[in-house]
Structure 1
Amino acid sequence: MTTTATGARTATTGTTPGPRGLDAERVSWSVGGRLILDGVDATAPAGAVSGLLGPNGSGKSTLLRVLAGVQPPSDAGARVAFDDADLLGLGRRKRARVLALVEQEASTDLPLTVLDAVLLGRIPHRSLLAGDSDADRAVAHRALATVGMTAFAEREVTTLSGGERQRVHMARALAQEPALILLDEPTNHLDVAAQLDALRTLRALAEDGVTVLAALHDLNLAAQTCDHVVLLSEGRVVAAGDVRDVLVPDVLDPVYGVRTEVLTHPRTGRPVLSFELPG
């Protein structure tokens, strides 16, 4: 194995190249004359869990929406590729067969059951006039089982708690069967056990070859789960690479305005972070 400049490991043997993962270049976005993203270059290695980190207002949610094609970049020179395919050049339906986006505050007031909400993830895979097939329903039920929501299949989404809705949105994304999944704070509203379960699901997806990029607020969850991280500050990438290289005091302290101490988890060997205010 070799290590790239950003810490991603790539195989050196074999003649057939593997998936290239997500590669974004020169991504900018502004609103009302204010620059939110300023020429962001970012990667998410194939078949890995990458964390998108940064303080509130650093541009994480905006970057995910631009990468997903929900909102166009401000700079016409921006490039967003996945496995060498131009994501921004794909039609909406075709792009939805490649990637799924789980937004932080996705909600609906429509009287949908949980199962019906998850079945929305199957729309890109069937003809426009076709109804749900037995195969679609099987995929949706597997997605609900993965997130622990099988017992809620016939409940209306509007009756669920915030954490339960978050798990339904995850199941809808899984039902798309994406090769790339983008998530904005997937542990939002979840209790500790549900957070760990959600991150275990992301790890399982990566082990199955899915490329995962998740915006995470909790740096310790990122340290525990991610293979690779991208750190944003004021709309720019300030560091990217292996968690052990990025989640260190010299990088984190000026970005978050804290003093960081890095410990080592006695069982996993991964970083455990402790913070205090300077002064």
Structure 2
Amino acid sequence: MTSIPSRTTAAVDPVATPGPPATLSAERVRWSVEGRLVLDDVDVTAPAGAVTGLLGPNGTGKSTLLRLVAGVQRPDGGRVSLVGADLLTMDRRRRARQVAFVEQDATSELPVTVLDAVLLGRTPHRSMLAGPTTADGALARSALERVGAADLASREIATLSGGERQRVHMARALAQQPRLLLLDEPTNHLDVAAQLSTMRLVRELAADGVTVLTALHDLSLAAATCDHAVVLAPGPAGHVVAAGPVDEVLVPEVIDPVYRVRTTVLRHPRTGRPVLVFDQP
């Protein structure tokens, strides 16, 4: 039976990681399709135990980069490592114990219940032929509760709304207990309150030691919630134009030429975080 670490209470902890916070490093990652270069020697560092926003206009390769880091696709060149271990050469099962990936618009037409879908996150942590343990079930239910979806446990995935599916896939990732969490537009399909709740959870995960790399379209949401930012710019292929702390990256000198807008940076009266206001140039 899988041993589930706990905090000071006996409750199952759905985000207890299998090791200390880990830094992600992607170096000179290249990828092309049908002769067209999509990512051109991209370097990305996601600091350990922090939330790093992967930003850029449509078509700059944000989703592609996440799939390459997750091992869903193979890059044409480059190296991706987590605390020095090469994720690209790591076998799939071992990588799944380290990395969880929540894709954008992940759908399923199979007659699978929400609880069974979340239990799939436990697959890398048990032997090939073993079924879910009691501890696995408790952890899956705890993950659903953490994302505010406990009431969906008996529903079939195919009957859920886009926002509900997004929460369930996040719960599956939590059940996986990753050291690195990759999120592709985690606030897609969500209303404002749900967006804020999701990003608060992401920050809590980072505080618990999970390294987070998340693609976001909403620059204001990134400014309010991310510790670090990496900005990709288009053409002829996606490449990094700025990376570092949010206060240093989300500035007009970086944003305006990439997004073709005019940016004003204000300060939130309570949090002191940057608030971005945009105009047409």
TM-score, length-scaled by structure 2: 0.91
Is residue 241 from structure 1 mapped to residue 244 from structure 2 by the alignment? yes
- Write the distance in 2 (CA, Å) between the matches of 1:151 and 1:101: 23
What code does the residue aligned with 1:206 have?
A
Aligned residue runs from structure 1 range 103-118, under 5 A: 103-118=103-118
Partner of 1:168: 168
1:14 aligns to what? none
Q: Which runs of 5+ in 1 are unaligned?
A: 1-17
Distance in 2 separating the partners of 1:263 and 1:125: 46
2:265 aligned with 1:259, yes or no? Answer: no
Match of 1:10 in 2: none
Contact 2:29 2:42 in 1 (8 A): yes
Whether 1:272 and 2:275 are equivalent positions in the alignment is yes
Partner of 1:29: 31
Number of aligned positions between the proteins: 259
Q: Does 1:41 align with 2:43?
A: yes
Q: Deviations over 1:200-222 (max 9, x none)?
A: 11101100111000000100110
* Residue 69 of structure 1: aligned partner: 71
Does structure 2 conserve the Cα–Cα contact (< 8 Å) formed by 1:20 and 1:84?
no
1:87-98 aligned at under 5 Å gives the runs: 87-98=87-98
Identity fraction in percent? 69
- In the aligned structure 2, how far is the partner of 1:221 from the partner of 1:201? 14
Q: Secondary structure at the match of 1:167?
A: helix
> TM-score, normalised on structure 1?
0.92
Cα distance in 1 for partners of 2:192, 2:105 equals: 19
The residue number in structure 1 matching 2:177 is 177
Residue 19 of structure 1: how far off its partner (Å): 4.6
Cα 1:164/1:19, change in 2 over 3 Å: closer
Q: Secondary structure at the match of 1:89?
A: coil
Does the 8 A contact of 2:22 with 2:180 survive in 1? Answer: no
Alignment match, 2:59: 57
Give the Cα separation in 1 of the matches to 2:280 and 2:35.
33
Is the CA contact 2:157–2:165 (under 8 Å) kept in the aligned structure 1?
yes
- Structure 1's consecutive aligned runs of 4 or more residues displaced over 2 angstroms after TM superposition are none
Deviations 1:47-101 (A, max 9, x none): 00000000011100000000111100012xx111111111111100100000000
Q: CA RMSD in A?
A: 0.8
TM-fit CA distance, 1:236: 0.1
Alpha-carbon separation, structure 2, partners of 1:212 and 1:122: 19
| 1:91-148 deviations in Å (ceiling 9; x for gaps) | 0010000000000021111000000110010100011111111010011011100100
